[in-house]
Amino acid sequence: MDEEAILKRWNSNPMLKPRIAKVCVNICVGKSGEPLEKASKVLEELTNQKPCRRKAKKTIRDFGIRRGEPIACTVTLRGEKAYTFLQRALQAVNNRLSERSFDKFGNVSFGIKEHIEIPGVKYIPELGIHGMDISIALERPGYRVKRRKVKRSKVGSSHLLTREEGILFLKEEFGVQVV
């Protein structure tokens, strides 16, 4: 389907227009202790939310990682916070995303090599520079049926979001250029 037809469908039926379900921001340091504390502080300053720690799933001797050791921190943003953070994060990558970053359900992930590339962030020597992964989950209204407790069911295949619709949504909403 071409872009004009998709936009026409979205305008005629508001249940078909995608929205941002959540934005997950992840910084993996690879070791616990002071580096993880610094990464947590950076993430908290960027998102105004307290990060959650993530533990190593298995032991990797070459990297000095033990199973169960906290090695990463992550934050999940929803609603207005997700929109404002995403606008700043996309400016860090010059509003350009690779087409390969999108999955078949319209979700997208990209990375930022240095957090100081995000507009409005100043370099603090005590905290250092950290890279991060950002994942955007898109959905349509009505996806609640697969998460609710009572009478849970599947989302029909005709209501699932496609890769092309995810790309078009980010182009329309944030002015993203997909290469």
Mean of pLDDT values over 152-157: 92
Provide the pLDDT confidence category of residue 16 given band limits of 50, 70 and 90.
very high
What is the tally of structural domains in the chain?
Answer: 1
Nearest 5°: the CA angle 24, 26, 31 is 155
pLDDT digits (tens, 9 = 90+) for 40-84: 999 999 999 999 999 999 998 888 888 989 999 999 999 999 999
- Check which CATH number belongs to the domain holding 65 and give it: 3.30.1440.10
What burial class does residue 102 get, using C-beta atoms within 10 Å of its C-beta: 0-12 exposed, 13-18 middle, 19+ buried?
A: buried
Range of the domain at 34: 3-178
Q: What is the pLDDT of residue 60?
A: 86
